[in-house]
Structure formats: C-alpha cells, structure tokens
C-alpha cells in the first residue's frame, strides 16, 4: 500500500534534509580540494627565506657531495612538509638535467617509529623491484640489507624523516646516528633532512649523535594574522565561486588562528567549515556569523577526538576528574578518585606516579588546566586542576569515555 505524504509534511521533511543534488546546486564551492592541497596553487607564500636556506643547504648534492643532517623545525601547519616535498621535486628535476643519479625516500615517523621499520620503509622506496615486510625483521638484518642495497645502487640518496620527534622520543636517536655516519662505509652517498613539530627535539638527541649530525637548523615560525590572511585569500580565490567569501570573514579567521598556533591548515579547515555551514543553511555567501559557530563546532570535534585517542587508564583518570563536583580540585584528590573509578569498572589500577604523568598529559592536550597554586579549601599550596569544558561538551566526553572503557 502506498501512503501519500501531505504537502505540509513533504515541505517539513525537505526543509530538514539535504540531498546530493541540493549540495551540487549550491553556488559556494568551485574547487574545494584546493583548501586541503599540500602544495598551494601558486606556490608557498611567506616562506621565501626558508626556501632559500634549504636550496643553499641541498645544492651540494648536485655537486656530488653528501649533506649532513639538515633539521627543519616548526609548529604543525607552517608549511614545512609541503615546501620540502616541492623542493625535492625541483632537486630531482635538476639532478636529471645534470645526469646525477639521485634517489629520494620520504618517511613519516608518526607511522614508522623504530630504526628497523624506518630502514625497511626506505628500502621499499629505493629498491622498488623488491618488497620488504613491515614486521618480522630484526635490527641487524635490516641494517645489513640497507648497506647492501646502498652498495648496489651506487647513487646519491636523500632521506627525509618527517615528524622525527616521534621516533626520537619513543625509540631513541640510533637512526640519526646511523645516517650521519654511514658515508664512507658504502658506495652510495646519503644525505638527510629531519622535520620536527617539536622545537625541543634536540633534548632527545644524545651528545655522541649531536657531535656527528649537522648543525644546520631551518626554523618555520608560526604565521601571523597578515600572513594567514594572504594564504586564505589565495586559496579562497581558487576554492570558492566569485563573491562567496568577503575580506572581513577571511580577516576574522586569520586573527582567530594567529592568536592560537599560527597554523595555516587549521585556518583553512575553519574556512571550509564555514562554507559547509553556509550550504547547510542554504546561503549563497559565507557570512561573519558563521565563523564563531564553525569554530565552536571544530573545537568540540577536536576535543572529542583527543579524548577518544586516550589509553584506557588515561580515560579512567580523566573520567575521575570529570565526575568531580568541585570546580577546582586538588592534585592529591585525583588518584583517590581514579582508584574508585577503577574499582567501579573492576579494572586493576596503576601506580600513583603513572596517574600523575596522565595529569601532565591531560594538561598538555588542553583537556584540563593544571597549575600549582593556593587552594583555599585545603588552606595550602598544591596542584590545582580545573576542567574548562562547557556542560554539553563535558557530558559528551563522559558518555564517550564510559562507552569506550
């Protein structure tokens, strides 16, 4: 039996629903992919100084000389990876013109966190006629194969280790030491670039390695509001149809992100979220009122993603803090509440020292605010912990943790 909808019901339904056809008809986007492209459509803005430094450091490769480890530092979203990958393409083209046998390998260390895995990943890119497994090889075997392949290739090799701070913190600096000392032992020449999001990365490098790696450091500073404005304006020109986004909107987004991390990726993500908000509201332009709304939605999503990525015991510690009724609690209360939370879930608790490290981590990720100060309830100086989430987000966080433990 077919039931016909009344006209009023049909209108009510369509006013709430979106269809692919309605999105395609909306005159907002021209080329949305431009907002997320690693390489900007007309090149990198405000990075000429860094590009010139890197060109000078990498030029010796074209003269047949290896380059000691070049370190590139900067916060996420400051153009490090994109600019270096663009430079590598230029270097490869120039090497080809000059009959220089150059091979390059790019490894993201957030996904490859040990020396063995990194060497195998480099081998997979250099020796494409062979296939190396991600697991099953010990360190000695990987090193032997790495040296053997480099002997066979007899070329110049440039290795780029992106987000190298991950491997340095978790597995040590053996990979840096190896790459810095390998020339002379093999028939190829090896150069390397290390990219780090952590400007304190040198703290994780041992003195013996510090003395062998290069001292060249290229810094990518956070973008300021004017620079972000230029970047947003350029991408918006390609991403949106004419007249969709105004300068006041771009200026507001640039100022918001400049006061945070100067992260161009986050600024572009916020702009994209504003565009999606305009489409959802069936508007033909991105207006100023959409910026705050889109920013709040992104902040919530990011917070919940961070919470979802916590380990089980980090979640238990955070749940204990969230369930506390006081606006500000003392640091010594956390472990007691954590023990009670573990007991309620029938989970064996960890030591107090481990839980203290969780509190530091929660503070660093922005899930709590923690500082040493005077707590009037206890009438003494102690670590004060405060949850800054609004009520709605706090309730979502509690539900997410309870569902995932």
| Domain CATH number, residue 205 | 3.40.50.300
Q: Give which of 69, 58, 67 is closest to 213, Cα–Cα.
A: 69
> Which pLDDT value is given to residue 1?
37
pLDDT in tens, 180-221: 888 888 899 999 999 998 877 788 888 888 877 767 889 999
Please check whether residues 376 and 354 belong to one and the same domain.
Answer: yes
Question: Are the C-beta atoms of residues 383 and 390 closer than 8 Å to each other?
Answer: no
The per-residue pLDDT for 143 is: 93
pLDDT tens digits, one per residue of 100-119: 999 999 999 988 888 999 99
153 shares a domain with 96: yes
- Mean pLDDT over 279-299 rounds to 90
Residues 248 and 384 in one domain: no
175: closest CA among 126, 215, 115? Answer: 115
Mean pLDDT value across the chain: 87
**182 & 154 share domain:** yes
CA 96 to chain centre: 33
Residue 212 to residue 209: CA distance in whole angstroms: 5
Model confidence at 125, in pLDDT bands (50, 70, 90)? very high
10/358 Cα distance (integer angstroms): 52
Check whether residue 194 and residue 74 sit in a common domain: yes
What's the CATH code of the domain at 232? 1.10.8.60
Residues 142 and 233 in one domain: no
| Cα R_g (the chain), whole angstroms | 26
- 356 exposure class (CB count in 10 Å sphere: 0-12, 13-18, 19+): middle
User: Given 306, 334, 349, which residue is the final one in a domain?
Assistant: 306
Residue at a domain's end among 306, 326, 358: 306
25 found inside a domain: yes
Residue 9 lies in a domain: no
Q: Which of these, 289, 287, 293, lies nearest to 246 by C-alpha position?
A: 287
pLDDT tens-place string over residues 48-75:
999 999 999 999 999 989 988 899 999 9
Report if residue 2 sits inside a domain: no
Instruction: Evaluate whether 87 touches 58 at the Cβ level (below 8 Å).
Output: yes
- For residue 87, which of 122, 35, 48 has the smallest C-alpha distance? 48
Let me know if residue 6 belongs to a domain. Answer: no
Tally the C-alpha atoms within 13 A of residue 293's C-alpha that lie toward its C-beta.
Answer: 13
**161 and 268 assigned to the same domain:** no
247: in domain: yes
Q: Based on the domain organization, do 231 and 213 belong to the same domain?
A: no
Among 201-215, 274-288, 325-339, top mean pLDDT goes to 274-288
- Number of independent structural domains in the chain: 3
Write down the pLDDT at residue 200: 78
CA dist., res. 114 & res. 168, Å (int):
9
Q: Which domain holds residue 267?
A: 19-38+224-306
What pLDDT does 298 receive?
85
Give yes or no: residues 98 and 245 share one domain: no
Q: Are residues 105 and 191 in the same domain?
A: yes
375 part of a folded domain: yes
Residues 6 or more apart whose CB falls under 8 angstroms from that of 365 comprise 306
Residues of the chain above pLDDT 70, percent: 91
Facing residues of 105 across strands? 159
Q: What is the dihedral of CA 11, 12, 14, 18, to 10 degrees?
A: 160
* pLDDT greater than 70 at residue 5: no
Structural domain contains residue 43: no
Cα 388 → chain centroid? 23
Looking at per-residue pLDDT, the higher value among 18 and 278 belongs to 278
Q: Tell me the CATH number at 359.
A: 1.10.10.10
Say if residues 390 and 297 touch (Cβ distance below 8 Å). no
Spatial separation of the C-alpha atoms in residues 80 and 285, rounded to whole Å:
32
- pLDDT of 364 > 90? The answer is no
Look at the block and give the residue holding tokens 């339904």. 13
Going by their DSSP bridges, the two strands 70-74 and 189-196 should be labelled as parallel
The residue among 285, 306, 327 that closes a domain is: 306
d(CA 396, CA 373): 29
pLDDT at 376: 53
Helix (H, G, I), strand (E, B) or coil at 245: strand
Phi, psi of 301 (to 5 degrees): -60, -40
**Cβ(339)–Cβ(349) under 8 Å?**
yes
246 falls within a domain: yes
Q: What is the DSSP string of 145-208?
A: HHHHHHHHH-SEEEEEEETTHHHHHHH-SHHHHHHHH-BTTBSSEEEEEEEES-TTGGGGS-HH
pLDDT band at 247 (very low <50, low <70, confident <90, very high): very high
Query: Over the stretch 296-330, which tens digit does the pLDDT of each residue have?
Result: 888 888 888 889 989 999 999 999 999 887 777 87
What CA–CA distance (Å, rounded) separates 16 from 108? Answer: 42
Q: Which long-range contacts (CB under 8 A, 24 or more apart) does 63-66 make?
A: 64/100, 64/156, 64/189, 65/189, 66/156, 66/183, 66/189, 66/190, 66/191
Cα–Cα distances in Å, from 1 out to 4, 7, 381?
A: 10, 19, 74
Asked if residue 248 and residue 216 are part of one domain, the reply reads no
Q: Are 96 and 196 contained in the same domain?
A: yes
């Amino acid at each position: 039996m077919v039931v016909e909808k009344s006209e009023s019901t049909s209108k009510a339904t369509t006013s709430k629903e979106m269809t692919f056809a309605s999105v395609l008809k909306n005159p907002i986007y021209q080329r949305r992919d431009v907002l997320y492209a690693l390489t900007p459509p007309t090149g990198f803005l405000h990075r000429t100084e860094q590009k010139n430094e890197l060109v000078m450091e990498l030029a010796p490769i074209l003269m047949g000389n290896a380059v000691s480890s070049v370190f590139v530092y900067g916060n996420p979203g400051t153009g490090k990876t994109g600019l270096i990958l663009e430079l590598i393409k230029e270097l490869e083209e120039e090497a080809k013109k000059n009959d220089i046998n150059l091979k390059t390998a790019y490894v993201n260390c957030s996904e490859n966190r040990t020396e063995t895995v990194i060497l195998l990943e480099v081998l997979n890119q250099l020796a494409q006629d062979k296939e190396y497994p991600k697991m099953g090889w010990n360190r000695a075997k990987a090193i032997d194969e790495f040296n053997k392949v480099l002997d066979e290739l007899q070329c110049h090799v440039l290795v780029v280790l992106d987000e190298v701070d991950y491997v340095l913190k978790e597995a040590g600096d053996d990979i840096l030491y190896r790459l810095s000392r390998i020339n002379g032992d093999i028939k190829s020449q090896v150069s390397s670039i290390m990219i780090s999001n952590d400007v304190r990365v040198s703290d994780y490098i041992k003195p013996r390695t510090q003395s062998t790696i290069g001292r060249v450091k290229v810094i990518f500073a956070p973008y300021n509001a004017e620079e972000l404005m230029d970047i947003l304006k350029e991408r918006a020109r390609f991403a949106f149809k004419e007249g969709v986004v105004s300068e006041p909107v771009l200026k507001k987004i640039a100022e918001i992100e400049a006061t945070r991390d100067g992260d161009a990726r986050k600024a572009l993500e916020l702009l994209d979220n504003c565009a999606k908000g305009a489409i959802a509201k069936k508007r033909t332009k991105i207006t100023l009122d959409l910026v705050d709304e889109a920013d709040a939605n992104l902040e919530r999503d990011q917070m919940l993603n961070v919470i979802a990525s916590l380990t089980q015991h980090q979640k238990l510690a955070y749940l204990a803090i969230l369930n506390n009724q006081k606006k500000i609690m003392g640091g010594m209360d956390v472990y007691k509440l954590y023990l009670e939370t573990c007991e309620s879930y029938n989970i064996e608790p960890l030591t107090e020292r481990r839980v203290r490290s969780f509190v530091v981590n929660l503070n660093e990720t922005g899930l709590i605010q923690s500082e040493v100060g005077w707590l009037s309830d206890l009438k003494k100086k102690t670590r004060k912990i405060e949850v800054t989430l609004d009520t709605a987000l706090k309730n979502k966080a509690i539900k997410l943790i309870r569902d995932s433990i």
